[in-house]
Structure 1
Amino acid sequence: MGKRRARGPALAGLSKRQKRHLRDFGEQHPVRDAVSGREVTQICELPENSDQSSSESDTENESERVSEYHKLLALLKTVPGTEEEEDEDESEEGDESEAESNSEGPQEVGGTDEEDDESDVLGQEEVTAKDAIKQALGQEQADETDNSGDPKHGAIEEFTDVKHESEFSLETNFMEEESGDYSTAERESSSSQEVSEDPYRAHMNKELEKKEIENISACCKTTSQLKVLIVVPFRESALRVVQIFISLLESGSKKQIDVSNKKRFKGEFGSDPDEKPPNLKRPEDYEAVFAGNIDDHFRIGVAVLQKSMRLYAPFYSSDIIIASPLGLRTVIGAEGEKKRDFDFLSSIEILIIDQADIYLMQNWEHILHLMNHLNLLPLNPHGVDFSRVRMLNLNNWSKYYRQTLLFSALQDPQINSIFNKHCFNYRGQVAVRNVPMIGSINHVVVQLPHVFRRLESDSLVSVIDARFQFFIDKVLPEYRDAVMSHTLIYVPSYFDYVRLRNYFKKEELNFTYTCEYTKKSSISRARQFFFKGERQFLLFTERFHFYKRYTIRGIRNLIFYELPTYSHFYSEICNMMKATNNGEEATWTCTVLYSKYDVQKLAAVVGIERAAQMLQSDKSVHLFVTGENE
């Protein structure tokens, strides 16, 4: 057999199993193996400087000590020939394991003397093992001091890049900047990396390239391609909007853009000059509103490309929709209808409501119905990849990012309700209003006394019934006498008109009526009866005056059941009395009913200063006289 190599003193007291477990797992074997008879415990003599090394180890901090078993593991790895030794002693391990098993058997059954002897041997082995470990630690410390300049020995230690470590330390960098110890080259490199401006401003001021814009638009989409909705009252208005779009797209280049379906669009939205009735004089505002094609039922989609524009594009492929309230209402439909669609309104980012005052004369319910169906979650996907849709659309927050532009020629509570209840942009609201310093009453040219009578009401809802009751109890009895003939009653609301008409029929009063739904033959007959005095009262609606602007002759007494929506209608109706001037100006009268909820209309008629005095006054009746001074 070959000659055994000398082993380290720290490993002499361990069995084969303990050595293998220590080498493989780096920790002591949990079961204490009995030392066989072959293995003899070696007693290692301590070096001369053991007292000095022990004193130095006692003064060291306990937290900085290295585990004993880790040192043993390192010693096992550094000792050469351990594997060869194990190969040479494999045969001896088998014999030793058999001897251990044979020796353990009788020890468990009996033999207390053997157990005591074994415990003494184990205790002695523990003492010798501790001494051996201390000796190994002392030798390693001495080797570290001797081999400090050895490059091989330094490779085992943890590597720290002292040279470049300071560049990644925030504390040292800030300290250097404050003290000014860093060089100019480092200062230039650091200043180039720092952001001199606010990150949000830098992001907003950054100019994106065309490819970056395309990538952003491709990644972030909405539930529909449609972004802009323009609501206009007539086809003529839609024609003007499209013409403005074409002129804007052609302004940057000398070439004309390609507009598809242009001929069809002009045929359907254009007007025929022969349709205009000749020899009819109308006010300037009427000519401006009702010029061209005044059809109010239409809708058209517009797709804008780089060098072309497509008219009559499908709604889900359009960028802009130009439509009337009635045209959108027929598409949106009502609850319970089978064919209805409003998903294309889910991604509207810009809403433009132009000429909102005209919708008061059409049907305001269509506007309210449209506003209630804007920026809702779509019911159907319509081929949209929702993984690429922005979260604000999926969270139903689109209404908080929509821009709403509302244009009107007058101030009205219903228009203000759209502004206050249906505009939710998170950036706030901006309103520009014209204050009427001078009312339309100053434009009345006839000599006429104007009696303004204020009625009291507790709420806006109850003011309708309060006005009707005030009229039939206090105003109408004064005009029932035959002397007060030729009385025209101006009624702005169609519902109030129907209520008064039914009451007059019930009371069997001598009256006639005209409204926007009356046929031309009936209108001519009613005007003739009223002019000749065959009918004492004439019920006259505001919408009829808005669309027809007929001059009613024979008016001697005028009653405004409610202040007109358009302030200039007040002066127009009053000036109709001049058409039949027969020297009877002294007998003409004008009575106006108003309440505290008619502040805007009252200010437009009499002026803002007079309106404030009339509403704050204790008197309920106020008199104004207009006309030429003789």
Structure 2
Amino acid sequence: MTSLANLCYRSSGSESGESDEEEEPDIPEDLEDSDDEEEEDASGARPYLSLMRSLVEDAPRNAKRRKLDHSGTQETPPQQTQEDPPTGDEDSNANKDVDHVEEPEEAPEDAPVEDLFDDDDDLDASDPFESHFAAPDENVVSSRVKDIQKGQWQLNRTVQNTWRFFVNTPGTGPSDAGLPKPIDGPADLQLKKKLQDSVSDKWTSFGQVEKQLAPIIFNNLDTLFCERTTANATDIRRMACVHALNHVFKTRDRVIKDNARLAREHSDDLELRDQGFTRPKVLILLPTRQSCVKMVEMITAICAPDQQENRKRFDESYVDKEAKFGADKPADFRDLFEGNDDDMFRLGVKFTRKTIKYFAQFYNSDILIASPLGLRMAIGSEEEKEKKLDYDFLSSIELVIVDQADALLMQNWEHVEYIFEHLNLQPRDAHGCDFSRVRNWYLEDQAKYFRQTLIFSAFNTPELSELFRASCNNWAGKVRVQREYHGAMLQMLLGHKTKQTFSRFEAKSPLDDPDARFAYFSKAVLPTLTRNHGRDAHGTLVFIPSYLDFVRVRNYFANDPAVGNLSFGTISEYADVPEASRARSHFLNGRHKVLLYTERAHHFRRYNIKGVKRVIMYGLPDNPIFYEEIAGGYLRSSEQAMKLEPGQGSVRVMFSKYDVLKLERIVGSQRVGRMIHERGDTFEFL
């Protein structure tokens, strides 16, 4: 009998996580005391067991009791904004999660359930939400899922102006599938009625980027957009938030309508499939808390809620208005690191009819906003024996938004891969799920083929391409968007002549690339510095993208007699401020002839290094802006400060055929093919 009760089939047909728009689900068991078990047995979360006990014991059915004493706080009246619980030493309490608040149950409002949704929002078969998630064509889906499982995709390339679209559709043979039908403006989006009314007042027309992306995103295709900039960041964020809110509102609206229908008809033959295993439907991955603030502010600006519970706590934990950087820092650096740049956070956001609730329990939330590190720690790891892995809250995610993916690459990318590996897995616990309402494609373990993934990055990398290839299996298809590149090298040459030499070395495979790169560097590049007892090596900056390569080169400089006459300093992402300052000072005054500098150090600090006369790029940076700043900006500023003749500086770049994505952004789309495939291995630009 207990095992049947654990399935939680409800007479109302509603899932504890999705049953009513105003009624809170039960507090998860891991937050309950063991003394509450009897209360749980009498609660509505286990109605079958309660009913059987009432029949056996011939006792009246107990009314569901509110758990107001659990946290030791009083319930906040619905008309007021709930602020933070009593403050204290949160870190000293090991059982308290500072990213959540304990949620007492709320009484439903007096309004009948029919008043909680819009009667004008009738079901529309042309609505992408309906055709993709709610009522897809089973024959089409079945055929495409089989193609995806076999790895069969059709590719169609489309060029519009300077934008290149790579459209992948499940299937075989030549592809004639193109981009979805254009969407002219916000008025043409099929949004929830109340959301449409709110958006129309604030968003009157599409910009260039929105015109390109809207048909893809709002038709639920997986998207890898490789041209995110500080200029279009707000437009991308707004479009992503509107799409996420539309998905959440339509999902909840369908559940509420079906609840009302079940309450009216009382039919055993009525089968309504409108839910997933758990409530969270949208996951947003961001690099910093400041990025989270911008996303939350965009969400609140769009839906304009009457109340925001725990907003004060959110502002105290996430908002940092203190100015950290001056105008000398580039715009992309200030956009990422200005404000609270903490990369450890996770936030559950729950929507009710008039309220946005922050710090909701994950299983009670509609949208999860987190950094990869924060979410990875919430899931746990197999090494933590005292805490079991918990990733069931990711089982019903239907929309993933990865914004500023280029910044996430500079963190620990393994966390992102780990999260995607645990998306849409079958849950290990029921979590109050009403399986009679779960959509069939969830039960058939096909949720990953319905999930839409949106990735926004400033550029493409092998890591992003692999994630898009392996983890994005949307039956509707997927699209990669990037533009034709003119080349950061040309931009750098404007008004300043610098000799740039690109040297290609051969590597048999990506695994052989590090060894081949080091061999070429030590045998072909370093001898030019050691001539004349290293007198010509003064002012040489060696830029090294990978930390592993940095360690290898540093050890070589420290231990090999062949470079014993080259004094050197180092700046890596692990160097503290005093250590980096000493290295820069010694490099400027000539005490160190060579300075080894990593890409992540430049990403996180953007040091202004003076005294650079020569740049050797052990590998190209992923970010083309870095090439302009290091190969161009450092040389120009040093020439001006040291009053050298312009054009005396030089740049030497090492690359292999596996650097094609990086190389294209530096030399331009028109030149990259020739530099990769021609017999010659040296290319000079002046």
TM-score, normalization: structure 2?
A: 0.58
Contact 1:441 1:571 in 2 (8 A): no
Matches for 1:439-478 after TM superposition, within 5 Å: 439-444=488-493, 445-478=495-528
CA apart distance, 1:610: 1.4
Structure 1 residue 324 corresponds to structure 2 residue 394: no
The secondary structure found in structure 2 opposite 1:309 is strand
Q: Cα deviation per residue 1:31-68 (whole Å; 9 max; x = unaligned)?
A: xxxxxxxxxxxxxxxxxxxxxxxxxxxxxxxxxxxxxx
Equivalences for 1:37-436 in 2 at 5 Å?
211-212=257-258, 215=261, 220-250=274-304, 256-273=305-322, 275-277=323-325, 279=326, 281-338=328-385, 339=387, 340-436=389-485
- In 2, Cα distance between the equivalents of 1:586 and 1:225? 61
Structure-1 separation of matches of 2:628 and 2:257? 60
Q: Distance in 1 between matches of 2:438 and 2:255?
A: 22
* Contact 1:225–1:318 (8 Å) recurs in 2: yes
Give CA-to-partner distance per residue, 1:296-352, whole Å, 9 cap, x none: 100000110111111100000101100001101111222232323111111111001
AA matched with 1:211: K
Match of 2:559 in 1: 506
- Residue equivalent to 1:604: 665
Following superposition, the deviation at residue 616 of structure 1 comes to 2.5
CA distance in 2, matches of 1:565, 1:586: 25
Does structure 2 retain, via aligned residues, the 8 Å contact 1:454–1:595? yes
Greater relative CO, 1 or 2 (CA 8 Å, sep 6+): 2
Is the alpha carbon distance of 1:280 and 1:486 closer, same or farther for their aligned partners in structure 2, counting shifts above 3 Å? same
- Partners of 1:609 and 1:620 lie apart in 2 by 17
For the residue of structure 2 that corresponds to 1:513, the secondary structure is strand
User: Does 2:633 correspond to 1:583?
Assistant: no
Tell me, in whole angstroms, the C-alpha distance in 2 between the residues paired with 1:370 and 1:539: 34
Q: 1:597 is paired with a residue of what secondary structure? A: helix
The question of 1:616 aligning with 2:677 is answered yes
Alpha-carbon separation, structure 1, partners of 2:638 and 2:255: 72
Aligned to 2:604: 547
Question: What SS does structure 1 have at the residue aligned with 2:418?
Answer: helix
Amino acid at match of 1:606: V
Tell me what 2:92 maps to: none
The separation in 2 between residues aligned to 1:305 and 1:447, in whole angstroms, is 61
Distance 1:242 1:218 in 2: 33
Taking a change above 3 Å as real, the CA distance of residues 383 and 448 of structure 1, as seen in their structure-2 partners, is same
Preserved contact between residue 446 and residue 577 of structure 1 (Cα < 8 Å): no
Q: 1:497 to 1:513 in 2, by over 3 A?
A: same
Tell me, in whole angstroms, the C-alpha distance in 2 between the residues paired with 1:209 and 1:525: 62
SS of 1:518 mapped into structure 2: coil
Equivalent pair of 2:541/2:615 in contact (CA under 8 Å): yes
Report the residue type matching 2:509 in the other structure.
S
Gap regions ≥5 residues in structure 2: 1-124, 137-189, 191-252, 263-270
Listed one character per residue, the Cα deviations across residues 437-467 of structure 1 (whole Å, up to 9, x for unaligned) are 3434422443211110001111111111111
Mapped contact 1:343–1:377 kept (Cα < 8 A): yes
Residue number in structure 2 paired with 1:534:
591
Of 438-447 and 421-430, more deviation after overlay is shown by 438-447
d(CA) in 2 for partners of 1:409 and 1:503?
34
Q: CA deviation at 1:212?
A: 4.1
CA contact (8 A) 1:249 1:257 kept: no
Contact 1:303 1:318 in 2 (8 A): yes
Aligned-partner residue type, residue 605 of structure 1: I
Instruction: Identify unmatched segments of 5+ residues in structure 1.
Output: 1-196, 251-255, 626-630
Cα separation, partners in 2 of 1:522 and 1:210, compared to 1, 3 Å: closer
Q: Distance in 2 between matches of 1:382 and 1:368?
A: 25
Contact kept in structure 1, 2:395 and 2:424, CA below 8 Å = yes
Q: Which amino acid aligns with 2:507?
A: S
In structure 2, what is the Cα distance between the partners aligned to 1:319 and 1:587?
59
Q: Is the 8 A contact 1:302 1:309 kept in 2?
A: yes
Partner of 1:489: 542
What is the CA–CA distance in structure 1 between the aligned matches of 2:685 and 2:254, rounded to whole Å?
64
Query: Given that residues 228 and 321 in structure 1 are in contact (C-alpha distance below 8 angstroms), is that contact kept between their aligned partners in structure 2?
Result: yes
8 Å Cα contact 1:439/1:603 also seen in 2: no
Match of 1:563? 620
Distance 1:321 1:415 in 2: 22
Give secondary structure in 2 for the equivalent of 1:399.
helix
Alignment size in residue pairs:
420
Q: Greater Rg, structure 1 or structure 2?
A: 1
CA distance in 1, matches of 2:403, 2:299: 16
**Cα contact 2:507–2:513 (8 A) shared by 1:** yes
Return the alpha-carbon distance in structure 2 between the equivalents of residues 596 and 603 of structure 1: 11
Q: CA deviation at 1:214?
A: 5.3
Aligned partners of 2:291, 2:535: CA distance in 1, in Å?
48
For 1:452, what is the secondary structure of its paired residue? strand
Q: Provide the rounded CA distance (Å) in 1 between the counterparts of 2:295 and 2:272.
A: 29
Q: Could you tell me how far apart the structure 2 residues matched to 1:538 and 1:234 are?
A: 30
Aligned partner letter, 2:314: F
SS in 2 for 1:344: helix
Q: Tell me the distance in 1 between the aligned counterparts of 2:484 and 2:452.
A: 25
Contact 2:273 2:436 in 1 (8 A): no
Mapped to 2, the partners of 1:290 and 1:209 lie a distance apart of 40
| Contact map agreement 2:291 2:336 (CA 8 A) in 1 | no
Indicate if the aligned counterparts of 2:254 and 2:274 stay in contact, CA closer than 8 A.
Answer: no
The corresponding residue for 1:593 is 654
**Residues 392-401 or 431-440, more deviating:** 431-440
Q: TM-score, normalised by structure 1?
A: 0.63
Q: Deviations over 1:260-310 (max 9, x none)?
A: 00100011111132x524x56111221222222111100000110111111
| CA 1:529–1:436: 2 relative to 1, 3 Å | same
Give the distance between the partners of 1:435 and 1:485, measured in 2 at CA.
Answer: 38
SS, match of residue 658 in structure 2 = coil
Aligned residue type for 1:454: R
Report the secondary structure of 2:483's partner residue.
coil
**1:293 is paired with a residue of what secondary structure?**
coil
2:291 counterpart SS class? helix
Q: Give the corresponding residue for 1:161.
A: none
Render the CA deviation track for 1:75-132: whole Å, top value 9, x for unaligned: xxxxxxxxxxxxxxxxxxxxxxxxxxxxxxxxxxxxxxxxxxxxxxxxxxxxxxxxxx
Aligned mates of 1:213, 1:438 — CA distance in 2: 57
Please, which moves more after superposition, 457-466 or 217-226? Answer: 217-226
Question: Matched residues in 2 for 1:209 and 1:407: separation?
Answer: 31
RMSD of aligned alpha carbons: 2.6
Counterpart-to-counterpart distance in 2, 1:356 and 1:533: 38
Alignment of 1:516 onto 2:573 = yes
